[in-house]
Structure 1
Amino acid sequence: MAPFEGIGASVRRKEDFRFLQGRGAYTDDFNRQGQLHAWILRSPHAHARIRAVDTAKAAAMPGVVAVFTGADMARDNVGGLPCGWQIHNKDGSPMAEPPHPVLAQEKVRHVGDPVAVAIAATREQARDAAEAIVVDYEVLPAAATMEAAQKPGAPVIHDGVPNNLCYDWHIGDKAAVDAAFAGAKHVVTLDLVNNRLIPNAMEPRAALGEYDRTTGEYTLTTTSQNPHVIRLLMGANVLHIPESKLRVVAPDVGGGFGSKIYHYAEEAIVTWAAGKLARPVKWTADRSESFMSDAHGRDHVSHAELALDGNGKILGLRVSTQANMGAYLSTFAPCVPTYLYATLLAGVYTTPVIYCEVKAVFTNTVPVDAYRGAGRPEATFLLERLMDVAAQETGIDRIELRRRNFIPTDAFPYQTPVALQYDSGNYHATLDQALAAADWAGFEARRAEAAKRGKLRGIGCSTYLEACGIAPSAVVGSLGARAGLYEVGTIRVHPTGSVTVLTGAHSHGQGHETTFAQLVADKLGVPVAQVDIVHGDTAKVPFGMGTYGSRSLAVGGSAMMKAMDKIIAKGKRIAAHLMEASVDDIEFDRGTFRVAGTDRTKSLVDISVAAYVPHNYPIEELEPGLEETAFYDPKNFTYPGGCHIAEVEIDPETGKVAVVNFTAVDDVGRVINPMIVEGQVQGGVAQGIGQALLESCVYDANGQLLSGSMMDYTMPRADDLPPVGVATHTTLCTHNPLGVKGCGEVGAIGSPPAVINAVVDALRDYGVRTLDMPATPAKIWQIINGGRRMAAE
Structure 2
Amino acid sequence: MTTTGVGASVRRKEDLRFITGKGNYTSDINRPGQAHAYFLRSPHAHAAIRSIDIDKARHMPGVVGILTGEDLAADKIGGLICGWMIHSKDGTPMKAGPHPALAQGKVRHVGDQVVVVIAETLAQAKDAAEAVVVDYEVLPAVTETAKAQAKGAPQVHDVAPDNTIFEWALGDKAATDAAFAAATHVTRLEIVNNRLVPNPMEPRAAVGDYDSGTESFTLYTTSQNPHVARLVLSAFVGIAPEHKLRVIAPDVGGGFGSKIFIYAEETVCVWAARRVGRPVKWTSDRTEAFLVDAHGRDHVTHAELAVDETGRITGLRVKTIANLGAYMSTFSSSVPTYLYAPLLSGQYDIPAIYAEVDAVYTHTAPVDAYRGAGRPEATFVVERLVEVAARELGVDPARFRRKNFVRKFPHQTPVIMAYDAGDYAAALDKAMELHDVKGFPVRRRTSARNGKLRGLGYSAYIEACGIAPSAAVGSLGAGVGLWESAEIRVNPVGTVEVLTGSHSHGQGHETTFAQLVSDRLGIDINSVSIVHGDTDKVQFGMGTYGSRSGAVGMSAIVKAVDKVIAKGKKVASYVLEASEGDIEFKDGRFTVAGTDKGLGFGEVALQAYIAHKFSGQELEPGLKEGAFYDPTNFTFPAGVHICELEIDPQTGVTTIERWTAVDDFGELINPMIVEGQVHGGIAQGVGQALLEGTVYDKDGQLLTASYMDYCMPRADNLPSFNVGMTKTRCPSNPLGIKGCGEAGAIAAPPAVINALTDAIGSEDVPMPATPQAVWQAVQRANRLKAAAE
Shorter-chain TM range is over 0.9
What is the rounded CA distance, in whole Å, between the counterparts of 1:356 and 1:395 in structure 2? 27
- Checking the alignment, whether the CA contact within 8 Å between 2:634 and 2:732 is kept in structure 1 is no
1:535 to 520, 532, 535: 532
Aligned to 1:299: 298
Moved more, 235-244 or 65-74: 235-244
Q: Are residue 91 (structure 1) and residue 85 (structure 2) matched?
A: no
Return the alpha-carbon distance in structure 1 between the equivalents of residues 130 and 424 of structure 2. Answer: 57
Q: Secondary structure at the match of 1:144?
A: coil
SS at structure 1 position matched to 2:749: helix
Q: How far apart in 2 are the matches of 1:314 and 1:254?
A: 43
Deviation at 1:788, TM superposition (A): 9.3
2:779 is the counterpart of 1:782: no
Matched, 1:655 2:652: yes
Equivalent residues in 2 for 1:113-124 (5 A)?
113-124=112-123
Counterpart CA distance in 2 for 1:188 and 1:525 is 56
1:445 equivalenced with 2:439 (yes/no): no
Q: CA deviation at 1:3?
A: 5.4
* Kept after mapping to 2: 8 A contact 1:220/1:248: yes
Local SS of the residue matching 1:67: strand
CA separation in 1, counterparts of 2:129 and 2:242?
A: 32
Separation in 2, partners of 1:482, 1:261:
15
Asked if 2 retains the 8 angstrom alpha-carbon contact of 1:577 and 1:618, the reply is no
Contact 2:2–2:8 at 8 Å: present in 1 too?
Answer: no
Q: Name the amino acid aligned to 1:649.
A: E
Letter in 1 for 2:390: A
The answer to whether the 8 A contact 1:42-1:111 is kept is: yes
Rounded Cα–Cα distance in structure 2 between residues aligned with 1:623 and 1:760:
68
Question: 1:127: how far off?
Answer: 1.1
Which residue of structure 2 lines up, in the alignment, with residue 355 of structure 1? Answer: 354
Structure 1 CA distance for aligned equivalents of residues 594 and 394 of structure 2: 66
Name the residue aligned to 1:555: 552
Q: How does 1:60-209 map to 2 (within 5 A)?
A: 60-209=59-208
1:589 offset after TM fit, Å?
Answer: 1.4
Please point out which of 671, 675, 685 is paired with 2:682.
685
Distance in structure 2 (CA, Å) of the matches to 1:268 and 1:699: 27
Indicate the SS of the match to 2:365.
Answer: coil
1:777, 1:373 → 2: CA distance? 26
The corresponding residue for 2:213 is 214
Aligned to 1:603: 600
Residue in 2 that maps onto 1:47: 46
Q: How does 1:666-677 map to 2 (within 5 A)?
A: 666-677=663-674
Q: How does 1:566-585 map to 2 (within 5 A)?
A: 566-585=563-582
Structure 2 match to 1:769: 763
Stretches of structure 1 that go unaligned for 5 or more consecutive residues are none
Structure 2 letter corresponding to 1:433: K
What's the secondary structure of 1:785's corresponding residue?
A: helix
Q: Contact 2:145–2:299 (CA<8 Å) still a contact in 1?
A: no
For residues 203-240 of structure 1, the C-alpha deviation after alignment (integer angstroms, 9 at most, x for no partner) is 00000000001111100000000000000001111134
Q: Aligned pairs, how many?
A: 784
Query: How far, CA to CA, are the matches of 2:781 and 2:550 in structure 1?
Result: 49
User: Contact 2:760–2:781 at 8 Å: present in 1 too?
Assistant: no
**CA distance 1:288–1:386, change in 2 (3 Å):** same
Deviations 1:681-717 (A, max 9, x none): 0000000000000000000111110111110001011
Aligned partner of 2:707 in structure 1 is: 710
**1:453–1:105 distance in 2 versus 1, CA, 3 Å:** same
The CA deviation at 1:285 is 0.4
> C-alpha separation between the residues in 2 aligned to 1:668 and 1:222?
31
Identify the residue that residue 374 of structure 1 maps to in structure 2. Answer: 373
TM-fit CA distance, 1:770: 3.7
Distance between the aligned counterparts of 2:615 and 2:464, measured in 1? Answer: 46
Shift of 1:91: 1.0
Partner AA of 1:716 in structure 2: P
1:431 maps to a residue whose letter is L
Map of 1:728-739 to 2, 5 A cutoff? 728-739=725-736
> Alignment partner for residue 497 of structure 1, among 494, 517, 530?
494
Query: What per-residue deviation string (whole Å, max 9, x for no partner) do you get for residues 710-751 of structure 1?
Result: 100010111111111212111111010110000000010011
Judge conservation of contact 1:83–1:331 (CA < 8 Å) in 2: yes
Residue among 704, 717, 737 paired with 1:720: 717
- 2:787 paired residue number: none
**SS state at 1:617 partner:** coil
Between the aligned residues of both structures, percent identity stands at 62
CA contact (8 A) 1:471 1:486 kept: yes
2:273 corresponds in structure 1 to 274
Residue 630 of structure 2: aligned partner: 633
Normalising by structure 1, report the TM-score: 0.98
The equivalent residue for 1:264 is: 263
Bigger Cα displacement from structure 2, 581-590 vs 467-476: 581-590
Deviation at 1:601, TM superposition (A): 1.7
- Per the alignment, in what secondary structure is the counterpart of residue 639 of structure 1? coil
In 2, the alpha carbon distance for the partners of 1:225 and 1:97 equals 24
User: Please, which runs of 5 or more residues in structure 2 have no aligned partner?
Assistant: 784-789
Q: Distance in 1 between matches of 2:198 and 2:782?
A: 30
CA distance in 2, matches of 1:388, 1:256: 32
Give the 3-state SS of the residue equivalent to 1:348 in structure 2: coil
| Aligned-partner Cα distance in 2 for 1:644–1:590 | 39
Q: CA–CA distance in 2 between the matches of 1:619 and 1:687?
A: 59
Distance 1:115 1:621 in 2: 61
* Corresponding residue SS for 2:77: coil
Separation (CA, whole Å) in 2 of partners of 1:492 and 1:581: 25
Q: Which amino acid aligns with 1:122?
A: T
Structure 2 residue matching 1:474: 3-state secondary structure: helix
The equivalent of 1:433 in structure 2 is: 430
Instruction: Report the equivalent of 1:517.
Output: 514
Residue type at the aligned position of 1:731: T
1:120-177 Cα distance to aligned partner (Å, 9 max, x none): 0001111111122111000000001123321111111111211000000001000000
**1:610, 1:617 within 8 Å by CA — same for their partners in 2?**
no
Aligned residues of 1:325 and 1:363 also touching (Cα < 8 A):
yes
For 1:689, what is the secondary structure of its paired residue? helix
Cα distance in structure 1, aligned partners of 2:415 and 2:41: 42
CA distance in 2, matches of 1:170, 1:99: 25
- Mapped to 2, the partners of 1:509 and 1:72 lie a distance apart of 37
Task: Report deviation, 1:599.
Answer: 2.0
Tell me the CA shift for residue 395 of structure 1: 1.1
Q: Secondary structure at the match of 1:705?
A: coil
Q: Secondary structure at the match of 2:324?
A: strand
Asked whether the equivalents of residues 765 and 774 of structure 2 are also in contact (C-alpha less than 8 Å), the reply is no
Q: Is the 8 A contact 1:102 1:268 kept in 2?
A: yes
Distance in 2 separating the partners of 1:619 and 1:604: 23
Structure 2 partner of 1:565: 562
Q: 1:628 to 1:266 in 2, by over 3 A?
A: same
2:416 & 2:147 partners in 1: Cα distance? 33
Q: Secondary structure at the match of 2:235?
A: helix
Structure 1 residue 757 corresponds to structure 2 residue 760: no
Tell me which stretches of 4 or more aligned residues in structure 1 moved more than 3 Å. Answer: 786-789
Contact 1:226 1:505 in 2 (8 A): yes
Secondary structure in 2 matching 1:326 = coil
Shift of 1:4: 2.1
- Say if 2:765 and 2:777, in contact at 8 Å, map to a contact too: no
- Contact 1:316/1:352 (CA < 8 Å) preserved in 2? yes
* 1:359-416, Cα deviation, whole Å (9 max, x unpaired): 00000000000000000000001100001100011111100000000011xx111111
Shift of 1:757: 0.5
Residues 521, 590 of structure 1: 8 Å contact kept: no
CA contact (8 A) 2:67 2:116 kept: yes
Question: Using a 3 Å threshold, how does the CA distance of structure 1 residues 619 and 754 change in structure 2: closer, same or farther?
Answer: farther
Q: Give, in angstroms, the shift of residue 761 of structure 1.
A: 0.8
What code does the residue aligned with 2:504 have?
Answer: S
User: What is the aligned partner in structure 1 of residue 404 from structure 2?
Assistant: 405
1:577 deviation in Å?
A: 1.8
